[in-house]
Structure 1
């Protein structure tokens, strides 16, 4: 299958999936108990006229399908609606908060890739006690949820030692990097263990392959064998896991941002869900779904480049 044809098919599939996801997201919020009107009234009694005004402003009395189609049409034009909680355009909220979340995810991804690949490679190549130590360490990492890691790191390095800020995202790039260091580590800890184990398993499998034995018998230096024949042949499996890692980062950032009071879209989603801010929840949910699909598309397009045995549209299978 040609690259252009495959990309076009995947984009069409993404559009169809987003359409279904938009219906599910909108329907879930429509069926959720409570209503935006109850939040706006904050428990106060309201006259029928005031309640009717609120319902008319947010189209709460319109039929489900009418509300969905109006919302979908606005979304296609880049209009995410108006936040019920913050009384401002959702697009403005996203523009203010999305960069913080993307920076946090990027920092966490760098930590995961660098440490995870390093630990996995060391464990596979050295074996013995080093391999056992890495396995024990990664078992601890995989068994520690992001929220628990956030609380532990915050209590030790922010509260007890005072080395890092305990909350907030900071102002300016340098200050933001400093504020997001602990959250990035908390977000990355579980995924470091996952990537290290996947890298170790993939490299151990490659080490036992016939072409590695042949390369060694021909006198190829061990470092070159590891780099060209072992690590390179493991990249397909590692890259596939990388797509899952990015998707997990996007989900887990909600917990970490809440623990560290970071004003990103994760914390915004949690607060908006609590206050029944339907437009904000729907917009963020669709953005997360879209990011998932974009990540998977990128992985599928890169796999044939790192592993010629894989063809477009066959993830993880040799051609």
Structure 2
């Protein structure tokens, strides 16, 4: 993880310098400046240092918890992140809860009942998977916020309950595509498990059908579902940028979008590195949980080593 994060930090830092424009031009807002003023701006933000010197200086500050100073907001990046990150995390948690509950239920019902129910779930999930988050955001905002007035159309609210109310529509918009994906993965895994030999043996021994589904079908499908869950969390972190922008939510997604358009290098670099770190953390958690969900993974690795 340390090596991956180090490589990602270099890519994150270097990618911004390939884009046209520079922070000094934004600070000057198109105004002409004397060479002395331009030199002072470059010196303040280390823009006139060689690339590797800037990278090592930035990396040293990051290790010490210093993300630098925002060029756009003229304040510490760590303060911006502390103000906005909780809103984004709450949005991701709400969307994840919606995805897990509805996605697992739809996949379970489609696999167990089959027939017309299975076909209806497949059609619904196909529509969900084919609907991008920003399209879902516009549709939900127009119907439930503008026309019906059931939910706020923008903002993140004040206080936990008000925040949950404001973030309900964004969470649904963020979750819609992933609900379809998780439902289809759950259905496929459970259908495959239903045709396995140990399920046939359990049924032949008179084990109740509900117990067969819970212990022998769904449990054996959890490995595939959990692996997909890691991808779902990673996708949620990225798609928040589109949803937060559509609903004017003051999270790190909207902050990243604004900072990118204004060439706010320190803020973009800090948010990008945090997203990479969250990706790696989610993958680590999934790798640690997989042997607990499916002991065959651990047994298989031991057998191969022997």
TM-score by length of 2: 0.97
Correspondence for 1:164 = 151
* Distance (whole Å) between structure 2 residues aligned to residue 195 and residue 268 of structure 1: 29
- The correspondence of residues 226-265 of structure 1 with structure 2, limited to 5 A, is 226-265=213-252
Residue 189 of structure 1 corresponds to which residue in structure 2?
A: 176
How far the C-alpha of 1:313 sits from its partner, in A, is 10
Shift of 1:311: 2.2
Alignment of 1:9-48 (within 5 A): 14-48=1-35
Partner of 2:128: 141
Q: Is the 8 A contact 1:300 1:312 kept in 2?
A: no
**Alignment correspondent of 1:128:** 115
Residue 79 of structure 1 and its aligned partner are, at CA, apart by 0.1
8 Å contact kept, 1:18–1:289: yes
* Residue 157 (structure 2) pairs with residue 200 (structure 1): no
In 2, distance between residues paired with 1:238 and 1:313? 19
Q: Say if 1:300 and 1:313, in contact at 8 Å, map to a contact too.
A: no
Instruction: Measure the CA separation in 2 of the matches of 1:311 and 1:171.
Output: 46
TM-score of the aligned structures, taking structure 1 as reference length: 0.93
Task: Indicate how the Cα distance of structure 1 residues 126 and 79 shifts in structure 2: closer, same or farther if over 3 A, else same.
Answer: same
Cα distance, 1:24 vs structure 2: 0.7
Taking the aligned partners of 1:272 and 1:40, their CA distance within structure 2 comes to 13
Which of 59, 67, 74 lines up with 1:72 in the alignment?
59
Q: Which 4+ runs in 1 deviate beyond 6 A?
A: none
Give the root-mean-square deviation of aligned CA atoms: 1.4
**SS of alignment partner, residue 302 of structure 1:** helix
Name the CA distance, whole Å, in 2 between partners of 1:179 and 1:308.
42
Which residues of structure 1 form unaligned runs of 5+?
A: 1-13
> How many residue pairs are counted as aligned between the two chains?
303
SS at match of 1:310: helix
Give the whole-Å Cα distance in 1 for the aligned partners of 2:300 and 2:147: 51
Deviations 1:199-252 (A, max 9, x none): 000000000000100100111000000000000000000000000000000000
CA displacement, residues 148-188 of structure 1 (integer Å, 9 cap, x when unaligned): 00000000000011000000000000000000000000000
CA offset digits 1:70-126 (Å, max 9, x no partner): 000000000000000000000000000000000000000000000000000000000
1:107 paired to 2:94: yes
Q: Is the 8 A contact 1:236 1:307 kept in 2?
A: yes
Consecutive unaligned residues in structure 2, runs of 5 or more: none
Say whether residues 1:304 and 2:291 are aligned partners: yes
C-alpha contact 1:149 1:189 (8 A) present in aligned 2: yes
| Distance in 1, Cα, partners of 2:298 & 2:66 | 39
CA-to-partner distance for each residue in 1:270-307, whole Å, 9 max, x for gaps? 00000000000000000000000000000000000011
1:168/1:241 CA distance change after superposition, 3 Å: same
Change (3 A) 1:90 1:139: same
Cα distance, 1:29 vs. partner? 1.2
Q: Could you tell me which of 255, 259, 270 is aligned with 1:283?
A: 270
CA distance in 2, matches of 1:268, 1:229: 46
